[in-house]
């Protein structure tokens, strides 16, 4: 190949690259929508779809991870799994017990293992008892947001509304068993 042919080939290659660069913004790119964050589902307990007994509302930072009905010793019970934020294990347990106590529940002085607390409703009904287990995550740093998990063993409750949100598992955390 002569020097002139090489120069023309190099020039043609540069022209092709420049054309591709100049036109690339028109091909294969998404249209900007200014909507870069997905909408977050509502708090599973704040919707009122599947309320806690006594309409208890937690006053500490938490997330519900899973909520559903399971069979325990031959009877159906509701199992709610969550995570608590920014507080330690003792504070989380104290906050859960205090929130139920505000609704009239009475904590047992000697909860049966593996439970950290057993709460009886104001009427003393055994069907409505609430059992609580709280566990701090191992090896958390001082600035870690999620500090631990809690599990509530609750009486079963039916959906309190026919609203569409009450059948959305992203909101209710009532996932189909897989």
Locus of tokens 């006053």 = 59
Distance in angstroms (rounded) separating the CA atoms of residues 52 and 80: 10
- Residue among 144, 149, 148, 114 at smallest CA distance from 131: 114
Phi and psi angles of residue 67, each rounded to the nearest 5 degrees, phi first: -145, 130
Distance in angstroms (rounded) separating the CA atoms of residues 42 and 131: 25
The mean pLDDT value for 49-62 works out to 95
Q: State whether residue 86 is helix, strand or coil.
A: coil
CB distance 118 to 111 below 8 Å: yes
Structure tokens at 17: 């690259």
Every domain of the chain and the residues it spans? 53-172
Q: Residue 83's beta-bridge partner residues?
A: 63, 149
pLDDT at 27: 67
pLDDT at 3: 77
**Average pLDDT taken over every residue of the chain:** 89
Q: What is the pLDDT of residues 90-146, one digit of tens each?
A: 999 999 999 999 999 999 888 888 999 999 998 877 778 999 999 999 999 988 999
C-alpha dist (Å) from residue 1 to 85, 109, 123, 160: 71, 95, 99, 83
pTM assigned to the model: 0.76
Q: Band the pLDDT of 61: cuts 50, 70, 90.
A: very high
More confident residue, 39 or 80: 80
Distance in angstroms (rounded) separating the CA atoms of residues 16 and 59: 63
Percent of the chain with pLDDT over 70: 94
Q: What is the pLDDT of residues 9-20, one digit of tens each?
A: 888 889 888 887
- Residue among 173, 88, 81, 84 at smallest CA distance from 132: 81
């Amino acid at each position: 190949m002569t020097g002139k042919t090489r120069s023309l080939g190099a020039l043609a290659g540069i022209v092709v690259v420049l054309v591709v660069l100049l036109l690339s913004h028109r091909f294969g790119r998404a249209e900007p929508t200014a909507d870069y964050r997905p909408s977050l589902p509502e708090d599973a307990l704040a919707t009122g779809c599947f309320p806690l007994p006594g309409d208890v509302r937690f006053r500490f930072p938490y997330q519900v991870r899973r909520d559903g009905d399971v069979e325990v010793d031959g009877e159906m019970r509701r199992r709610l799994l969550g995570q608590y934020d920014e507080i330690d294990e003792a504070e989380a347990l104290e906050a859960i017990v205090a929130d139920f106590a505000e609704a009239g529940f009475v904590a047992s002085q000697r909860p049966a293992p593996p439970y950290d607390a057993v709460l009886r409703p104001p009427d003393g009904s055994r069907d409505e008892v609430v059992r609580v287990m709280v566990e701090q995550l191992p090896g958390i740093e001082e600035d870690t947001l999620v500090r631990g998990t809690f599990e509530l063993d609750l009486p079963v409750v039916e959906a309190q509304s026919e609203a569409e949100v009450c059948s959305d598992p992203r909101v209710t955390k009532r996932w189909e068993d897989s």
